[in-house]
Structure formats: C-alpha cells, structure tokens
Amino acid sequence: MGRIFHIATAADWRAAQEAGTYTTSTRGRTLAEEGFIHASRGDQWPAVRERFYADVDEPLLLLVIETDLLDVPVVEEEVAGTGQTFPHVHGPLRPGAVVQAVPLELAVAGSTRSSSSLFLAEVFRHSLLGALLMVVVVIAAVAGWAVGGTSGAWAGLALGIAAGTTAVVGLGRRRRG
C-alpha cells in the first residue's frame, strides 16, 4: 500500500513514543472504542484536517506511516455516506512504523510541495538552529575574552555553549510541539 497518513496531537504522539504504541483512533476516540486507527491517503488528509481538526489549538502532527513496517493489518474501508474508502489500521501502531512526524502547519504549507522540499525545509530549519548556537557561543567567548583575557574567553565559551544549547533545544521542542 505504501504510505498512509494520520493526524495526531503532539501530546498523544509523545505519549506513544514513551509507551511504545500509539492507540488514538481519531480526535477524542481510542483504538479500543473505535476498533481501528483512522488514516488517510495523501489526497485525503487535508480534508480530514479541515473537517475534524480545524478548531484544535494544540500542536498537531501529520504522522507518515509506512505500511510495510506495520505488524497489524491495514484495510481500505468505505466510510458510510461518503462514497470514499479510507485506510484503517486494525491494531496498535508501533512508533517504528512512523517514518515522519511533520508539524501540521509545515505539512499544510507544503501540501502542494514534494516530500523532498519538506525535507529540505526541515534541514534548513535545523541549519538555522545550528547557526544560532554558533553565534551565541562566539559572542560569549569574545565577551569573556574582552573582560577576562584567556581565562575569561574559556569561561565565556562554556557559558555560551550552555546558553546556546538551552536556547536551541528549547526552540526545537517548541517547534515540534
């Protein structure tokens, strides 16, 4: 079947990674309640987002699921009254079957872009975070040198690494939800 998609809250996805399984069927419903996990094909998930998640304020992710990595069946089933079939994952989802967890705002912005351009956008974002870290470290080292010579430079370097790493990690987590 290839790749299918599922919209998840960032909190549910974090909990699944810690627990080792994802069991949210859809917004407000569990796998136990629904009997399967709702998924969609690439052309379907934007409409699912609009219909069921448009009013959600918390961070959302688009989980990209590689069906070949699943150890539970995926069944294309017609949804009553729509005339459409959707892929349903009949069992818990192992995080290892999720090949990407894309922040939904990035996925929506890139829904008409290729997956390679989405990848490049993420690489660019990570490069900017790395550049930010380097700038903070250099500024702190130079300031330390100006105040205390060589020993001040080493102290500034250590402080810059600590402060820059904290800032970059915080920004990275904030972005991912």
Give 5-24 pLDDT, tens digit per residue. 999 999 999 999 999 999 99
Question: Which residue among 90, 112, 134 closes a domain?
Answer: 112
105 with 63, same domain: the answer is yes
99 with 175, same domain: the answer is no
- Other C-beta atoms closer than 10 Å to the C-beta of 145 total 17
106 pLDDT higher than 80: no
108 with 118, same domain: the answer is no
Count Cβ neighbours within 10 Å for each residue of 102-115 and write b for 16 or more, e otherwise. Answer: bbbebbbebeeeee
101 with 15, same domain: the answer is yes
Mean pLDDT of 84-110: 86
In this prediction, residue 175 carries a pLDDT of 47
The residues, any chain, with a CB within 8 Å of residue 173's CB and separated by 6 or more, are none
150 with 135, same domain: the answer is yes
Look up residue 44 and give its two tokens.
Answer: 């379907």
Q: Which domain holds residue 64?
A: 3-112
CB 16 within 8 A of CB 29: no
145 with 100, same domain: the answer is no
Q: Which pTM does this prediction carry?
A: 0.61
In terms of average pLDDT, the best of 83-92, 112-121, 128-137 is 83-92
d(CA 153, CA 7): 48
Question: Which residue among 93, 112, 131 closes a domain?
Answer: 112
Q: How confident is the model at residue 75 (pLDDT cuts 50, 70, 90)?
A: very high
Mean pLDDT of 29-43: 94
14 with 98, same domain: the answer is yes
58 with 137, same domain: the answer is no
Q: For the chain, what is the domain count?
A: 2
In this prediction, residue 118 carries a pLDDT of 57
DSSP letter for 41, please.
-
119 pLDDT higher than 80: no
Q: How confident is the model at residue 152 (pLDDT cuts 50, 70, 90)?
A: confident
16 with 86, same domain: the answer is yes
